[in-house]
Structure 1
Amino acid sequence: MIHDLSDREREVVEAARRGAWLTCAPGVPVEELAGSDDLSHVVRAELIRELLLGRRGELDPRGIRLMRARITGVLDLDGLRTDTPLILVECVLAEPFTAIQARVATLSFSGSHLSTVHADGLRGDGSLILRGATVRGSGEGGALRLLGARIGGQLDCTQAEIVNDTGPALAADGLHVDSDLFLRGATVRGSGGNGAVRLLGARISGQFACAGAEVVNDTGPALHADGLHVGSTLYLSGATMRGSGERGAVRLLGAHISGALTCEQAQIVNDTGAVLHADGLEVDGDLFLRGATVRGSGETGAVRLPGAHIRGQFNCADMRVSNPSGLLLDLGKARVDGAVLVPARVVCPAAGGDGECGHPGRVDLGDFAFTALRDVDWRQWLHLVAHHTTSYRPQPFQQLAAIERAAGHDGNARQVLIAQQNDLRRRAPAALGGRSARAVHTLWGRLAGYGYRTRTLALALLLALTAAGAAGYVAGQIPTRPGHHAAERVTPPGSPTTTAATRCSTIELIGLGLDRGLPLGATGLRAKCDLDTSTRRGQAVTLAIWIVQAVLWGLITLAVAGYTNLIRKTP
């Protein structure tokens, strides 16, 4: 029966039975509907519920389709079960819309103005459309509340404005969307530590697109989505995400993105904490921060990805990142299966230079694993490891050396490993032991490159052997007493002591020096030519050769230690 309805409401019922569109206020902008006193613009929310319950007769499968109507009263669909779509375009709902534990078909509010929307446990076989809508609510429960809801189609908030000054704008913990979630070009403003957009444990089977969106929360995260699962790509390209506090601006702890995570040209800001806080994040595709502007604060880092696993590439080309009080990038224990495109200039404009670096940029690369570097020279990456990490750790050096060795650049790998030992001596000297151990380590580095560079050591050995031979030759030229020299032929047994000594040949003198200087492997020339140790000059020469011998012992020991150490440290 429709005799109890106004003329406008009778038109609504008839249009619903035919599945036709009905425009209640043609030519009236939606912004003006809220203040309109024209009864022809009004449709009671109670009537819409009655229609969906079938109390006004059978409805067309195309559903209730109203445009430019002012809906009065609370539109209460709690517990409702209906297959009839509800499509309200550019309408005004001054009081809350509720669909708690309802099971409905498509709900569409495109271009409409709504107060609080509460739909916890909603089961929608179709889509929930809020494209271009304005939702203004209040309270800790959220302006658009979809806790534990299940949307069979899309959740489309493209170009929507969702605002809550005292709580989350979108609160949707445990939300399941079987298709896509769109916040493209949306303006979202929330408040509080729960986040402006809160999606803890939510599952989006398709893509989650926030490209060009503006999400702001001055007292908590902009996007709070720990445990989020996205079946395709998460788009933050061109978005502005501004949050506050230690939880981060974009928070994705333990999230899993089955496609790519793209933040290209995004602006992500948090002046009191991390910008991207994503410990344990898993991205099955690529992670793009290309061209992004990232501004964070605090010791924990601007971009936090400790323990993250990126199965594609990690691309930060042209990213601008700042943090005046802590790390720029925290990649500790992160893993990238593809290439790493992190230009060193992102951290330090002077990367690749020799000597100390005073630039304040810091990164954590401890146990960061990757397969290839692109858009960054190995020397530049080595600069970051040696001068822009917070403490000495061996793994980043070993990782870079392994990359260079795999590329066939063994010389580069050796230079990296030498730099590792230099950094150990510079930043963790206590690990080497006492003062004498550190002195030996320093000498070993300068002479043998810690076992990775043998040319200097070989040259030192050659010079020491030359000094030994020269000492023997010089000994043959130094007179000790009349007719004798510091080095001379050995007098045969039984010869008179007054017999004049015979001078050794040049070859014999050089051989004598080598014989005396070599720690091992005598030449046998001392049986013919030897030092006269009964005189002071002969003793002085003997002492000099002993010193050369000690140097040779040390060099040979370093050579053996360096060689065996090289074998053990080959990546």
Structure 2
Amino acid sequence: MRRSRPFRRLTAAERRVWDAYPSGAWVDLRSGDPGADDPAKGASWGRARTVRAEVIAALMLGANPPEPGQVAGLRLAGAHVPGNLDLSDAALTTKLHLLNCHLPGIVSLTDTTAKGVRFRGCDIYRLRAARCTIDGMLELDDCTIRAGLRLDNAHITGQLRLARTVLHPPDPDGGASESYLENARRPFTDAEKRERGWDQNQWALWAGGLTVDGGAFCRDLRAQGGLRMIGARFNSGLYLQRAVIENEGGHAVYADHLQASSIEFSGGFTAVGTVRLRGARVGGVLSFDKAVLSAPGSERCLHLSHMQVDELILRPTSMSGEVNLGYSRIGVLLDAAGSYPAAVRLNGFTVESLRGGMTLADRLSWLARDPEGYRPHPYEQLATWYRRIGHDQEARAVLLAKQRARRATLGVAGRTGGYVLDVAVGYGHRAWLAGVWFGLLLVAGTVVFTLYPPSQVGLDERRVFHAFPYTLDLLVPVSVFEQRAAWEPVGWTQWLANVLIASGWILATALIAGATRVLRPQAG
């Protein structure tokens, strides 16, 4: 026998819903006029389309048991649902499906266990589902949620759907004021934010610790506030193509230690505010292909430090603000010369493979953008990669650039010595320069001493002067031909002789240092 209704009076719409619940039949209260059926206008729909939230809650909690041989469920379209729909701490055994409904109160699924919850095209003031467990799908496609969505520590075994959903942060005043509801669809100005007492981070989505097994599909999402997903797990991926997240001066996405099989911030994804994924683990692709990233009011637009990612696609349409890739481990990095802003932090960054066609000059420009100045590790990492793929010449060029960048951090003496080594042998990475300098000095000395021969030191025996071996003996640190002691330059050629002797020692020292790897020409 069907249980009696726990309400003294039900509207005609509520009676239809009550009677349809045991068989799971749809109740459609829509008029068929798209303009009149807009859920944002639901407050004006009147008694004929009103179903109280307490009636829905009573049905979901078992007030009207299912019919034998039928699958019960609440399926309702086009209703105005006043009041708070409180299903907290409940164990729901039937599905809840609302379509194009207006819910001006709070929907609470906190600590709830449910089979599946679907709100499609609804206008909802606030939805709280912290620590809930949904054995199926949580769908909020095409909805407008005006005062924040909470999914912290929730577990969804199916899909999470937020396609084309519009999210706004909670009203800092704590209530559903008319002015707040009227303005919730448009961005707030900085003056309005200050007047309302907002801090820099207003969260439209609060989902720390969320676990989604079946994929989170958030394409075309619009959020006037940040997405906070610290420690969240998306076992089948997170997809935010064409989503627009605005939280100027704060974080558009705050997802430290997030874990996912793949993440798509791509295809026109737009973030106004910092995207932070510090310590994230992505087993597949993390893509920023054709994204638009900016962080007005904040120095950093992309914080990707300490991550582990199989493949990072960093090819945004535009990116303004600092990028931090420090101490991250990337399998494959696909980027482009125009991908990066003026400031890029790469200290501790490691990568297995670089793709994208960036030239050596582009890569060296990339390394030189650290706002804190010279860091040795990025240069060594890039040189290691070039050498691993068989491009030894490029590896030597990177290590030469490393020494030149390091030189700028030294004192006067260090910089002076660095310039000498750079000009002489390219810090050991261009040993052939020593041969060029040696040849030039040998030719110059031979010509000068042929025109201005030195005088013989001892007159007890007759000697014949030859300028070439004499110059060669001056250039070689250890006298080989015994010409240096037998002849003494005269006049200004004494200075030339001293220059040749000093140059010989400098060239020999540089070559020995390079040969013994003091300058590490092959270091990685």
TM-score normalized by the length of structure 1: 0.73
Structure 1 distance, partners of 2:370, 2:329, is 23
Question: Which residue of structure 1 lines up, in the alignment, with residue 424 of structure 2?
Answer: 447
3-state SS of 2:51 partner: strand
For residue 185 of structure 1, report the CA deviation from its aligned partner. 1.0
From the CA coordinates, give the structure whose radius of gyration is larger: 1
Question: Which residue of structure 2 lines up, in the alignment, with residue 231 of structure 1?
Answer: 261
Structure 2 distance, partners of 1:155, 1:43, is 26
For residue 26 of structure 1, report the CA deviation from its aligned partner. 3.4
Structure 1 distance, partners of 2:397, 2:124, is 65
Q: Contact 1:464–1:552 at 8 Å: present in 2 too?
A: no
Query: Which residue of 279, 293, 313 maps to 1:288?
Result: 313
3-state SS of 1:15 partner: helix
Q: Is the alpha carbon distance of 1:133 and 1:551 closer, same or farther for their aligned partners in structure 2, counting shifts above 3 Å?
A: same
3-state SS of 2:272 partner: strand
Check if 1:209 corresponds to 2:239.
yes
For residue 463 of structure 1, report the CA deviation from its aligned partner. 5.8
Question: Which residue of structure 2 lines up, in the alignment, with residue 170 of structure 1?
Answer: 205
Question: Which residue of structure 1 lines up, in the alignment, with residue 166 of structure 2?
Answer: 161
3-state SS of 2:146 partner: strand
Structure 2 distance, partners of 1:387, 1:45, is 57
Q: Contact 1:288–1:315 at 8 Å: present in 2 too?
A: yes
Q: Is the alpha carbon distance of 1:291 and 1:518 closer, same or farther for their aligned partners in structure 2, counting shifts above 3 Å?
A: closer
Structure 2 distance, partners of 1:218, 1:477, is 78
Counterpart amino acid of residue 208 in structure 2: D
Q: Contact 2:249–2:295 at 8 Å: present in 1 too?
A: no
For residue 158 of structure 1, report the CA deviation from its aligned partner. 0.9
Question: Which residue of structure 2 lines up, in the alignment, with residue 222 of structure 1?
Answer: 252
Q: Contact 1:471–1:545 at 8 Å: present in 2 too?
A: no
Q: Is the alpha carbon distance of 1:559 and 1:74 closer, same or farther for their aligned partners in structure 2, counting shifts above 3 Å?
A: same
Structure 2 counterparts to residues 130-529 of structure 1, below 5 A: 130-137=140-147, 143-164=148-169, 165-166=171-172, 167-190=202-225, 196-243=226-273, 249-273=274-298, 274-284=300-310, 286-296=311-321, 302-316=322-336, 318-319=338-339, 322=341, 327-341=342-356, 375-385=357-367, 391-425=373-407, 427-430=408-411, 435=413, 439-462=416-439, 490=460, 520=478, 523=481
For residue 547 of structure 1, report the CA deviation from its aligned partner. 6.3
Larger mean Cα displacement after TM superposition, 80-89 or 256-265: 256-265
For residue 330 of structure 1, report the CA deviation from its aligned partner. 1.9
Query: Which residue of 114, 131, 136 maps to 1:126?
Result: 136
Structure 1 distance, partners of 2:369, 2:124, is 55
3-state SS of 1:55 partner: coil
| Unmatched runs of 5 consecutive residues or more in structure 1 | 138-142, 191-195, 244-248, 297-301, 342-374, 479-485, 492-502, 532-537
3-state SS of 2:427 partner: helix
Structure 2 distance, partners of 1:516, 1:225, is 67
Structure 1 distance, partners of 2:293, 2:468, is 75
Query: Which residue of 64, 67, 71 maps to 2:74?
Result: 64
3-state SS of 1:312 partner: strand
For residue 88 of structure 1, report the CA deviation from its aligned partner. 1.0
Counterpart amino acid of residue 252 in structure 1: L
Superposition RMSD on alpha carbons, in Å? 3.5
Larger mean Cα displacement after TM superposition, 117-126 or 465-474: 465-474
Counterpart amino acid of residue 335 in structure 1: T
Q: Contact 1:234–1:257 at 8 Å: present in 2 too?
A: no
Q: Contact 2:293–2:318 at 8 Å: present in 1 too?
A: yes
Q: Is the alpha carbon distance of 1:515 and 1:542 closer, same or farther for their aligned partners in structure 2, counting shifts above 3 Å?
A: farther
Query: Which residue of 40, 47, 63 maps to 1:55?
Result: 63
For residue 519 of structure 1, report the CA deviation from its aligned partner. 5.7
Counterpart amino acid of residue 117 in structure 1: L
Structure 1 distance, partners of 2:244, 2:210, is 21
Query: Which residue of 89, 102, 105 maps to 2:115?
Result: 105
Q: Is the alpha carbon distance of 1:255 and 1:515 closer, same or farther for their aligned partners in structure 2, counting shifts above 3 Å?
A: closer
Q: Contact 1:464–1:548 at 8 Å: present in 2 too?
A: no
Q: Contact 2:286–2:309 at 8 Å: present in 1 too?
A: yes
Q: Is the alpha carbon distance of 1:542 and 1:84 closer, same or farther for their aligned partners in structure 2, counting shifts above 3 Å?
A: same
| Unmatched runs of 5 consecutive residues or more in structure 2 | 173-201
Query: Which residue of 30, 33, 45 maps to 1:36?
Result: 45
Counterpart amino acid of residue 286 in structure 2: L
3-state SS of 2:105 partner: coil
3-state SS of 2:511 partner: helix
Counterpart amino acid of residue 324 in structure 2: R
TM-score normalized by the length of structure 2: 0.79
Q: Is the alpha carbon distance of 1:256 and 1:33 closer, same or farther for their aligned partners in structure 2, counting shifts above 3 Å?
A: same
Check if 1:14 corresponds to 2:10.
no
Q: Is the alpha carbon distance of 1:488 and 1:49 closer, same or farther for their aligned partners in structure 2, counting shifts above 3 Å?
A: closer
Aligned identity (percent) is 28
Check if 1:45 corresponds to 2:53.
yes
Q: Contact 1:222–1:250 at 8 Å: present in 2 too?
A: yes
Q: Is the alpha carbon distance of 1:490 and 1:183 closer, same or farther for their aligned partners in structure 2, counting shifts above 3 Å?
A: same
Q: Contact 2:344–2:369 at 8 Å: present in 1 too?
A: no
Counterpart amino acid of residue 303 in structure 1: V
Q: Is the alpha carbon distance of 1:448 and 1:75 closer, same or farther for their aligned partners in structure 2, counting shifts above 3 Å?
A: closer
Structure 1 distance, partners of 2:314, 2:483, is 73
Structure 2 distance, partners of 1:516, 1:145, is 82
Q: Is the alpha carbon distance of 1:416 and 1:209 closer, same or farther for their aligned partners in structure 2, counting shifts above 3 Å?
A: closer
3-state SS of 2:224 partner: strand
Q: Is the alpha carbon distance of 1:314 and 1:488 closer, same or farther for their aligned partners in structure 2, counting shifts above 3 Å?
A: same
For residue 159 of structure 1, report the CA deviation from its aligned partner. 1.0
Larger mean Cα displacement after TM superposition, 91-100 or 514-523: 514-523
Q: Contact 1:400–1:416 at 8 Å: present in 2 too?
A: yes
For residue 11 of structure 1, report the CA deviation from its aligned partner. 2.1
